[in-house]
A = this chain, B = another copy of it.
Amino acid sequence: MLAKIDGHPFGGIQLTGERFPLAEVRMVAPMLPSKVVAIGRNYADHVKEMGNDVPSEPIMFLKPSTSVIGHGEAVAYPQGLTERVDFEGELAVVIGRLCREVPAERAKDVIFGYTCANDVTARDLQKRDVQFTRAKGFDTFCPLGPWIETDLDASDLALTTTVNGELRQSGRTSQLLFDIPTLIAHVTAVMTLLPGDVLLTGTPAGVGPLTPGDEVSVGIEGIGTLTNRVVSRD
């Protein structure tokens, strides 16, 4: 069941008393981020499977707000432009207030909550371009949801990704090379974050290809499961 709220989640909210069965509701992304800041190579086993070196500092990139979709919405496979689209299940941190130059020890003050993310990536374009922007910036390549969990210790959560029900990724957020407070300090030393902005914390090993017709789910302990099917863009 879903309970309806009044007000803005980054201000104050009140329960209206209305409730709806989950199955009868179409979910949209639980925020409209002004930006999605993502971190690459933040799990050692994924760094290894990609043949990369462990970074000495977090590797930061941006996904455009136009790439965001919600739970149950379709990932559009841009056929003709890429021949390899991969899932990357990730823990997403949702920022609750305008902040800059946040020390790691105060990072929890700027976190509104957590959700599941899929950092969908055209792997062939990522390799060809070096810059990640095109490969990770297609419309629909940033599923977020199904909702924001605001009361959670995110330091050691199980994260799994399945494709058509088959387990493909299994990690724990305790394996992050750079933990969430370190990432928030690193990112906010560069750019101001706004309420609703999203930080993707990286993906564990097991990334692999999607094809139209697939159903991909990212599940995180204490949050829920984000499921999206893949369709051809045209």
Instruction: List the interface of chain A (C-beta within 8 A of B).
Output: 34-35, 37, 40, 57, 59-62, 64-67, 78, 81, 100, 128-134, 137-139, 189-194
> In this complex, which of A78, A131, A138, A139 has the most chain B Cβ atoms within 10 angstroms of its Cβ?
A131
Stoichiometry, as copies per complex, reads 2
Whether B190 lies near A137 (C-beta < 8 A) is yes
Minimum C-beta distance from A83 to chain B (A): 15
Q: How far is the CA of A139 from the CA of B132 in the complex (A)?
A: 21
- Residues of B within 8 Å of A130, CB to CB, are 59, 130
- Residues of B within 8 Å of A34, CB to CB, are 34, 64-66
- Residues of B within 8 Å of A40, CB to CB, are 131
Whether A190 lies near B134 (C-beta < 8 A) is yes
Contact flag A131-B65 (CB < 8 Å), given A81-B189, A138-B190, A189-B81? no
Q: How far is the CA of A132 from the CA of B130 in the complex (A)?
A: 10
Q: How far is the CA of A191 from the CA of B120 in the complex (A)?
A: 14
- Residues of B within 8 Å of A134, CB to CB, are 60, 190
Q: How far is the CA of A128 from the CA of B60 in the complex (A)?
A: 12
What 7 A-B pairs come out closest when comparing CB atoms?
A: A62-B62, A66-B192, A60-B133, A61-B133, A35-B64, A66-B191, A60-B134
